Amino acid sequence: MKPVPMEIVSRTNKGLVRSINEDSIAILPDFGIAILADGMGGYEAGEVASQLAVQSIAKELIMVVQNPQVKSGYDEVEAAVRAANQAIFDAVESRRGSEGMATTIVVAVFADDRVVFAHLGDSRLYRFADTRLEQLTSDHSIVQELVDQGMFFSIKEAMEAGVPNNVLTRGLGVEIQVRLDIGESPLMPNDVYLLCSDGLTNMVSDASIARILGETGGNLEGAADWLIKDALAAGGLDNVSLVLARLRG
């Protein structure tokens, strides 16, 4: 793989309700790596899980993207996530009070002419291109499964029917054997990639995210600030974190 240097900005905020921020971010613009995690598992434990996840995965991927013998990168990204999963289980055994801690994860590796991405949980990856916002990941949640099964037309409809949107079916630290979703997408000039926790998507609609990305005219710093501001204005009920990335230059 040959890493693609990216312009990357990130923001994280504990929101207006939570006492601590359990989200974690790792960005390595020169290596084309962006990672975001949303911790779960009670006071401070979720923060530990998310930090372990992003640090472990970033360390593994720095070596991967510089290895010319790596082709697709799928196996290597999966191995990095599995190593992070084991790190969380090891920490639970050695750290009192951390039982049950886990985290979502979304990883983007920009290399060659594409982005390889992987995720667990409901942290998401989007691509914004030509005024259109496309969700590249699909949430690992009960509400998403019901939509996929055709029981509801949309997540909004399911939530209006009383289905909770915060019950996840996968995550790091949940099971020893990780069931990871992984894919890739062509990397095009001017496309903007958004990694985010559900603290953003539960507060700001996809339509509003697309409008903000469009109206900021490619100013990633301005777009990131605006998205955080709107999430807080809508209630800031959770930690809110995001990463915006596009080809440098």
Q: Please, which pLDDT band fits residue 44 given cuts at 50, 70 and 90?
A: low
Q: Domains in the chain and their CATH numbers?
A: 6-247 (3.60.40.10)
Query: Would you state the pLDDT for residue 103?
Result: 96
Q: Please, which pLDDT band fits residue 124 given cuts at 50, 70 and 90?
A: very high
Q: Please, which pLDDT band fits residue 137 given cuts at 50, 70 and 90?
A: very high
Taking only the tens place, the pLDDT of each residue in 144-189 is 888 888 888 877 788 778 777 778 999 999 999 999 999 999 999 9
Residue 97 has pLDDT above 80, yes or no: no
| Alpha-carbon separation of residue 98 from 23, 39, 102, 103, 177 (angstroms) | 16, 12, 9, 12, 19
Q: Which long-range contacts (CB under 8 A, 24 or more apart) does 69-73 make?
A: 70/1, 71/1, 72/116, 72/184, 73/1, 73/109, 73/111, 73/116
Burial of 131 (0-12, 13-18, 19+ CB in 10 A): exposed
